[in-house]
Amino acid sequence: MKIAPSILSADFINLQRDVAALEAGGADLLHIDVMDGHFVPNLAYGPQVVAALRPVTTLPLDVHLMVAQPENFIEMFAKAGADTLSIHYESTPHIYHALQMIRQLGVNASVVINPGTPVAALSEVLPLVQQVLVMTVNPGFGGQQFLPASIQKIEQLVQLRQATPTLDFDIEVDGGINAQTIQQVAAAGANVFVAGSFVFEANSPKQQIQTLRDLIE
Ligand code: DX5
Ligand code: ZN
């Protein structure tokens, strides 16, 4: 069970301070949301932010690329220090090739599906990935409400993984994860939990992370 706070809800002017608080607070990964204003209707960060964070934390950097044609950016983010690169199934006609590129760079490959994309769409790429990210909101903004239809998708992924011994991936969830929703997704089989607004909404990220952990461990 891994808690991955999203820095989308951090105080950007004090990013190093907030990242240090997440690390001291027991975060397992740092989730970094990259947005290009095309694939999603919002803008957030470039590779410089990932490169700037790399030397100031020992947490693995879980980079979520919400960009069109991610193959144009994979190498940049790998060089910047990403440990995992998540790319959307919907973001390129060449998802297979893009995931191969990530693996060839020695980075963990993760494929993401939007709320409107069925698990069945992933059948050909599951053997390539170390992680599947099931979006539990429409991507683009923090602070949205969890979409319960995603629970069934997590269960389907667990079934596929059980039925095929060669498949080996984590199941990450992202969007609307808080004290009310985390138990449902954990029970369905998710094991990596992104949380943005919940972690930062109170004064103590440490307390918020602990609250989430206590609910699932
Ligand atoms: C949304 C991003 C999320 C976001 C989650 O597009 O991918 O990572 O930061 O924020 P919350 O936890 O507030 O839903
Ligand atoms: Zn994200």
pLDDT tens digits for range 68-83: 999 999 999 999 999 9
Three-state DSSP at 100 gives helix
Can you read off the two tokens belonging to residue 77? 């983010």
* pTM of the model as a whole: 0.98
pLDDT value of residue 145? 98
Query: How much of the chain, in percent, has pLDDT values that exceed 70?
Result: 100
Q: Which residues surround ligand 2, an ion (CB under 5 A)?
A: 33, 64, 174
Per-residue confidence (pLDDT) for residue 87, from 0 to 100: 99
Torsion of Cα atoms, 153 then 147 then 136 then 129, to 10° = 10
Architecture of domain 2-216: Alpha-Beta Barrel (3.20)
d(CA 17, CA 205): 12
At 160-214, the pLDDT tens digits run 999 999 999 999 999 999 999 999 999 999 999 999 999 999 989 999 999 999 9
- Cα(first)–Cα(last) distance of the chain, in Å? 8
Which SS3 state, helix, strand or coil, does residue 146 take?
Answer: coil
Contact 30/19 with Cβ under 8 angstroms? yes
Does the active-site annotation cover 62?
Answer: no
Closest-CA residue to 63 (of 96, 34, 21, 28): 34
Residues 186 and 134: their CA atoms lie apart, in Å, by 13
Domain boundaries, the chain: 2-216
What rounded mean pLDDT belongs to the chain? 98
Q: 112: closest CA among 79, 138, 149, 144? A: 138
Alpha carbon distance 113, 99 (integer Å) = 14
* pLDDT for 147: 98
59 confidence band (pLDDT: 50, 70, 90)? very high
Asked if ipTM goes beyond 0.95, one says: yes
Would you call 28 a catalytic residue per the annotation?
Answer: no
CA distance 205 to 97: 38
Residue 166's H or E segment, with its range, is none
Please compute the mean of the pLDDT values over residues 129-143 and round it to a whole number. Answer: 98
Cβ atoms 133, 111 nearer than 8 A:
yes
Predicted pLDDT at 204:
96
Distance (Å, rounded) from C-alpha 123 to C-alpha 175? Answer: 24
Question: Can you give the pLDDT at residue 15?
Answer: 97
- Ligand 1, residues at Cβ distance < 6 Å: 6, 8-9, 31, 33, 64, 137, 139-144, 174-177, 194-198
Is-contact 99 125, C-beta < 8 A? yes
For ligand 2, the distance from its centroid to the CA atom of residue 194, given in whole angstroms, is 7
pLDDT at 63: 98
Q: Which of 18, 28, 33, 214 is catalytic?
A: 33
